[in-house]
Amino acid sequence: MSNAANIPGAARDVDERSWTYWTTPSTVVVDGLETAFRRSGTGETVVYLHGEGATRAWLPLHQELASGVDLIVPEHPGFGDTERPSDFNRVDDWVLHYESFFRTLGLSRIHLVGHSFGGYLAAQLAVYFPDRFQSVTLINPMGLRLHGEPLRDRFRWTPEEEDSHWFNGRRDLLLEQLTREGSPEQDVQAYAELTSIALLLWNPRYDTKLDYRLARLTAPLLSIGVDDDRVVGNQMATRFAELASNGHFTRITGGHEAPSSHQVVLEQPEDVAAAVIQHVIANS
């Protein structure tokens, strides 16, 4: 394995990390790459693939899920405390990494869950290795080409626009979950992680192969959408469910307070965990 091209958090002293949801990760060497992950709980094995910005923390959603399953939350190559090897530049690099990660940990009967960019990776894993998973749950996934949806250019948002798109204007209510070490290092970390996303989804910002490959899925797929997704739009989650064989869609609503957002995983962790665990148990 060649030298890492992108070393965001890994080189820094973890002893200085003291934000609310920081926990020290475990590490395992996968095909030569030291991979950070967190694990807790007992029961069915659930691997949760995080979205952008949700690294280096054991968040309320994780705690909720771990109360019902054996939850494993790895950090993707190029994210959190897992370096991105310089040869990684195609989605199959991430897919093969995770297949090796599962073998290295000796995981079988895996229930796969992914949010946002992690949902994109989960969908790719499921089409490459359709027999590997007991069930698949995608929460506000990204990566399909949708016609008729306005462009939401994730790569051009100002901080104000990020608040509007990612958090539907409610970022301030989530600061405890979002806080890391602060600027400039938190900005550098975010830039590094966004660079890894750009490698896969800059041009094009979708994978047209998924349109026909999702029919390869054999495991039941649950695609979870929300009321008002301003990152990927409201058609994306339903389209994943339509394209997958054995797929179905459900929406987590925001109730009477406000329409649910792309960051439903931060805003409504109990609701998300309940939907995921229900799908896992139904397919165990």
Partner 1 sequence: MTDIEFLGLVDNAYINVPYAGDRKSNYIDLPNRIYDPVEGQRVMDDALDVVVSLEKYGFDGGGISEQHNGPIGLWGNPFVPATWIASRTERMKILVNGPIMNNYQTPIRLAEEIAAVDTLSRGRLIVGLPMGHGMQHHSTGMNPATARARHAEAHDLLVSALNNDGPFEWNGDFFHVPYVNLWPRPTGPISFMLPGGGSIETQQLAARRRYAYQCVLSPLEVMAKNMQRFRDFCREEGYEPAPEQSAAVITLHVAETDAIAKREVQDIEEWGYQNFFLSPTHDNFPPGYVSLASMRGMKGGYRSKPMNEMTYPELLENRWIVAGSPQTVADGLNEVIEKLGLGRVIIPLTTGLKPKWMVDKVLTLFSEEVLPQFRPAGKPLVSAEDRVGFDTRLEYSVKRRKGHPVPAIVRNGNLLDVNKARLDGVDAVLGPWPGTTQEY
Which residues here bind partner 1, judged by CB under 8 A? Answer: 6-8, 89, 153, 155-158, 183-185, 187-188, 191-192, 194-199, 202-203
Q: For partner 1, which is the closer residue by CB, 202 or 212?
A: 202
Confirm if 93 and 87 have CB atoms less than 8 A apart: yes
User: Which is it for the CA torsion 174, 176, 180, 182, positive or negative?
Assistant: positive
To partner 1, the closest distance from the beta carbon of 110 in angstroms equals 29
To partner 1, the closest distance from the beta carbon of 79 in angstroms equals 13
Q: For partner 1, which is the closer residue by CB, 1 or 198?
A: 198
Q: For partner 1, which is the closer residue by CB, 155 or 212?
A: 155
To partner 1, the closest distance from the beta carbon of 113 in angstroms equals 25
As a whole number of angstroms, the distance between CA 152 and CA 233 comes to 8
CA-wise closest residue to 74 among 102, 53, 93, 96: 102
Q: For partner 1, which is the closer residue by CB, 13 or 131?
A: 13
Q: For partner 1, which is the closer residue by CB, 18 or 203?
A: 203
Bridge-partner residues for 267, per DSSP?
none
Asked if the bond preceding 8 is cis, omega within 30° of 0, the reply is: no
To partner 1, the closest distance from the beta carbon of 162 in angstroms equals 9
Query: What is the phi/psi pair of residue 209, to 5°?
Result: -60, -30
To partner 1, the closest distance from the beta carbon of 245 in angstroms equals 32
Q: For partner 1, which is the closer residue by CB, 88 or 101?
A: 88
To partner 1, the closest distance from the beta carbon of 137 in angstroms equals 28
As a whole number of angstroms, the distance between CA 68 and CA 75 comes to 21
